[in-house]
Amino acid sequence: MRNKVEQAITDLLAIGVEKGYIDPLDKILKQNQLLALLKKESLGSGLIASHPLPEAKALLPTFLDFAVETGVIEESITEQAIFSAQVMAILTPDTSVVNRKFWEVYAHNPKEATDWFYDLSRDNDYIQTEAIAKNIAFDYASDYGNLELTINLSKPEKDPKAIAAALMTESVHYPLCQLCLENEGYSGTLTHPARANHRIVRFPMDGETWGLQYSPYAYYTEHCIFLASEHRPMKIEEKTFQNLFGIVEQFPHYFVGSNADLPIVGGSILSHDHYQGGRYSFPMDKAPVKEAFTLEAFPEVSFGIVKWPMSVIRMESVDKQALTKAAVHILEQWRGYSDETVDIIAFSQETPHNTITPIARRDGEKFVCDLVLRNNRTSDVHPDGIFHPHRDVQHIKKENIGLIEVMGLAILPPRLKDELAEVEKYLAGEENALADMHREWADGIVVSDGDYRQAIEDAVGAVFQRVLEDAGVYKMTAEGLAAFKRFVDSL
């Protein structure tokens, strides 16, 4: 094992130098940092790097095995995650170096700059590519075009030891949340993820400093997060649209969108101002405009109702200021709009219900912005939300419908991997442990040519279409479109 770990040390340092992450002058410094982390006092002489060099993350099992065997760490999920990040932090340049390199490349080509940062974030195992590869993905040909579905298996399982220890540990609120700048380089604890290998690119936006980072458990290509340097709540307001258009102006090859800012229809982290983006075209992007309309106050902007199960107004213009003003006008009008014939009520006393999920991207010189109308009201019939997945589909998806799902990519819970395997056994007439909540749905699945897997995936896809239809404030029916047009007329 000692010979093996010494070869891993040699290879990791060689990878760092070859990739440009470690300056050759710093090689001995980094070598001694790695020895200190492993509690090793020396390194054998005459070691030569492997040829070809492995991926850096492929060396992690060797480091972990050595650390566990020698008592440096315990064999727990949490300790191994923290230790892995510390190993990769030695490979990872400091924040100042990362930012200097990023902006040097950006001056030549913005896409090459994000390519470099994305490669670093994968090479140093911050983006958990091996975990992401475990996700189960498939498509569904819906009435609105192709929908994409993922059973998310990439998030790490909870460590029982860490859970038990956390209950006995006094809570420390540092960093304040998982999107704060203070996460950069943070070692991690029993209750906060390891981030020693995490780096954030700073960029200016409208007089503020913002951060660009990638998602560790990416749901799509180059899934990134744009975050405010100040820990403050999310809001959908004029500044939101200015920021979205400012981001796609600086990073024209990326889309960017914001979760809605109200519970039920909002994202998982409403306490920190941030947006999600990436280099990806979603099903909603490809959806056509069903009906165009004009607003006299905004002649520079084209508008249209999108053919999509959720209620989407698409705006396009080369003038981002005009687009911002139009978006604010629609937002303000929607905030106070009610139509009880289709269950849309703007306020319950002082509690607001209407908001928007906005998404921006570039199409050549044009700025394109999709405004998805949202309402988070509940009722006795629908206590989880009138425009939320209804109870008859919650056996598949009961979580909030956030930005990513809005655009046609379902993020389904990991429990479905095992539950759908039991559905397949049930349909095949084999012994099974089918969950009661799936039984009625499973009885309605039609299997062709004995292809149980395809039949189940199609049935799950049909449920996701229904989920989006449930979340749409205006249904794609004659009545729903008439109500949608009434709102458009109010503009």
Exposed (0-12), middle (13-18) or buried (19+): which is 167, by Cβ within 10 Å?
exposed
**pLDDT of amino acid 298:** 98
Average pLDDT over residues 35-62: 94
**pLDDT of amino acid 475:** 97
Share of the chain above pLDDT 70, in %: 96
Pairing of strands 136-142, 366-375: unpaired
**pLDDT of amino acid 157:** 60
Exposed (0-12), middle (13-18) or buried (19+): which is 416, by Cβ within 10 Å?
buried
Q: Is the peptide bond before 52 cis (omega within 30 degrees of 0)?
A: yes
Is the pLDDT assigned to residue 166 strictly greater than 60? no
> pLDDT digit string (tens) for 344-393?
999 999 999 999 999 999 999 999 999 999 999 999 999 999 999 999 99
Pairing of strands 145-151, 409-412: parallel
Is the pLDDT assigned to residue 156 strictly greater than 90? no
Q: Who's near 200: CB < 8 A, 6+ residues apart?
A: 95, 181, 184, 211, 212, 213, 227
> pLDDT digit string (tens) for 214-227?
999 999 999 999 99
- Lowest mean pLDDT across 86-95, 205-214, 266-275: 266-275
- Model confidence at 158, pLDDT cuts 50, 70, 90, reads low
- H/E stretch holding 462 reads helix 452-471
Q: What is the rounded CA–CA span in Å between residue 23 and residue 64?
A: 25
Exposed (0-12), middle (13-18) or buried (19+): which is 95, by Cβ within 10 Å?
middle
**pLDDT of amino acid 168:** 58
- Model confidence at 167, pLDDT cuts 50, 70, 90, reads low
Average pLDDT over residues 156-182: 72
| Residue that the structure tokens 């190993």 belong to | 87
**pLDDT of amino acid 155:** 74
Please give the mean pLDDT across all residues of the chain. Answer: 94
Q: What is the rounded CA–CA span in Å between residue 409 and residue 406?
A: 7
> pLDDT digit string (tens) for 198-250?
999 999 998 999 999 999 999 999 999 999 999 999 999 999 999 999 999 99
Average pLDDT over residues 160-185: 76
> pLDDT digit string (tens) for 422-469?
999 999 999 999 999 999 999 999 998 889 999 999 999 999 999 999
Task: Specify whether the CB–CB gap between 358 and 258 falls below 8 A.
Answer: yes
> pLDDT digit string (tens) for 279-297?
999 999 999 999 999 999 9
